[in-house]
Chain A
């Protein structure tokens, strides 16, 4: 019939689409429609949160320590996803914010008398400021230029800190001993950061602002013509992402106790964030969390074989980008539907067979 011909040529399914489409509209556009489905989602979220925050009650100390690292990775991936996934700005330089957050917090604690909580917030705020400042020139660049530009800024920042006497040069800086936190405190902070980062991502993306952000990602010129200030929209997302990664960087400093420029400002951070987002599923809220958990588990299983881990991670990344561009969550999300399609086709074949 003519059903297919009614689709305008430029929207026909075969046409390659530039940029990333909102691949999972069900997730991006709203909570499940019916009250019953909404109640079910609320129960699931409540149970997960309860299990999360009761963690130190039933986990061994070793697992609490592992959980802290996992939470940090999850929060960073979720924060990267905001600008890298929903904003479409593929940042390779997010290590800048990990380093900036950690260094700011430790320097504030070393040189002022403010309480730890305030120092963490200052670290987030300063990192957001650094993100905004770096974003002003960087976000004028598009695509690959932006990516390589962010990498350049991060390496430049590393070179700067290496030579910065006040920040300890290559020896780095140590967390003052009265600011060292217990593992369960770190656990709660990490859990709160994952929940908070995810909540901020959900609220941001679901808002009118979020729609503008995705519009700019999908077609910046068209969005401009509709009156959206693409630069400002991207800059806001970049600063929010920087703020959140800055907080993660501060928590990371509690875990590390000592910061030095080579590991604090390292491409390794962006590598992990990108692996988690791409493998889990970019531009979704669940994808980065799944991806982070997966690569974390992989790193744990192959402990002592770090080289092998990176090899497998790289291979998974290539396989996902080539064969499942929507990531693992995209596969899971599409599973019920593709099963239904498969069943219907089988049933039709059945019917055709019996009819004939």
Chain B
């Protein structure tokens, strides 16, 4: 029972961490190899703002979100958009280059030492059905559900969401309908980064920030979207839960040192058996 409850709440955190990657992948079929660096970078930004202004890490999101969007929009507009005309590989290489640059900047600014965001909910527990769950995981779980629902509703109900889905479905037809696809793509990338900021703060509070930590988070997030159905927004939540279950029960069966091995083996196995993902098919 303890395992089950912990896995559910941890799954919420994994979903929150992966949602931005799902959005970008679902709309542009672009795997952002710098997603891990957006996560870690958002964490460092939160560290900066909470440190200098004395803000609570979650409150600092008010500043972290616009900052990340301001960085992400031009990256897509000026760098990735022109490359996407040349096939799938050039933008992939470019995001790879961005991740190298970002890691270096983190190292220069914050050294390779572990940093973490301090918040009261990082350590305290909440009693849920007799199990002590870290408060930050409860926040992650609730926040992930809200974010997933909001994103889903925005995509299906809002005008911009519809333009976005049209651009995902058939970019050329969308252009002929008067949709500014370049702007839509850039805004999607920026929104993806904005959504990711919540995951950044969760990682900073619940785990720790190091310049190179982005890589394993990228792989975990990618596993989430593979399990959750390749770009399906609601599937992200399910994917996060599945990985958390696999980790919790795998660690119980084989020992906690095999956590990473279990997750990444799961990734490869699912990729091979069902390349389209375990659940769902299309965006939203």
Q: Nearest Cβ distance between residue A226 and chain B, in whole angstroms?
A: 21
Query: Cβ of A156 and Cβ of B79 under 8 Å apart?
Result: no
A235 CB contacts on chain B under 8 angstroms: none
Query: Cβ of A322 and Cβ of B275 under 8 Å apart?
Result: no
- Nearest to B111 among chain A residues (CB) is A307
A315 to B99, CA, bound (A): 11
User: Is B53 close to A, CB under 8 A?
Assistant: no
A227 CB contacts on chain B under 8 angstroms: none
**The stretch of A49-57, A136-144, A285-293, A328-336 that contacts the partner chain:** A136-144
B90 CB contacts on chain A under 8 angstroms: 321, 325
User: Is A79 close to B, CB under 8 A?
Assistant: no
Q: Nearest Cβ distance between residue A91 and chain B, in whole angstroms?
A: 12
Query: Cβ of A314 and Cβ of B98 under 8 Å apart?
Result: yes
B223 CB contacts on chain A under 8 angstroms: 152
Query: Cβ of B89 and Cβ of A20 under 8 Å apart?
Result: yes
Query: Cβ of B101 and Cβ of A156 under 8 Å apart?
Result: no
Query: Cβ of B92 and Cβ of A144 under 8 Å apart?
Result: yes
Count, chain B residues at interface, CB 8 A: 40
Q: Which of A143, A151, A274, A315 contacts B93 (CB 8 A)?
A: A274
Mark out the residues of chain B between 133 and 162 whose CB falls within 8 Å of any chain A CB in the assembled complex.
Answer: none
A130 CB contacts on chain B under 8 angstroms: none
A321 CB contacts on chain B under 8 angstroms: 83, 90, 93-94, 97
User: Is A267 close to B, CB under 8 A?
Assistant: yes
Mark out the residues of chain A between 125 and 175 whose CB falls within 8 Å of any chain B CB in the assembled complex.
Answer: 137-138, 140-145, 147-149, 151-153, 155-156, 159-160, 162-163
Count, chain A residues at interface, CB 8 A: 44
User: Is B257 close to A, CB under 8 A?
Assistant: yes
User: Is B253 close to A, CB under 8 A?
Assistant: no
Q: Which of A90, A142, A162 contacts B257 (CB 8 A)?
A: A162
Interface, chain B (partner A; CB < 8 A): 31, 33, 79, 82-83, 85-90, 92-94, 96-98, 100-101, 103-105, 107-108, 215-216, 219, 222-223, 257-258, 260-261, 264-265, 267-268, 271-272, 275
Q: Supply 10 further A-B pairs (C-beta < 8 A) apart from A90-B89, A307-B108.
A: A16-B85, A144-B31, A152-B219, A152-B222, A159-B264, A163-B258, A278-B93, A310-B100, A317-B100, A318-B97
Q: Which 3 A-B pairs have the closest CB atoms?
A: A314-B101, A314-B100, A159-B261
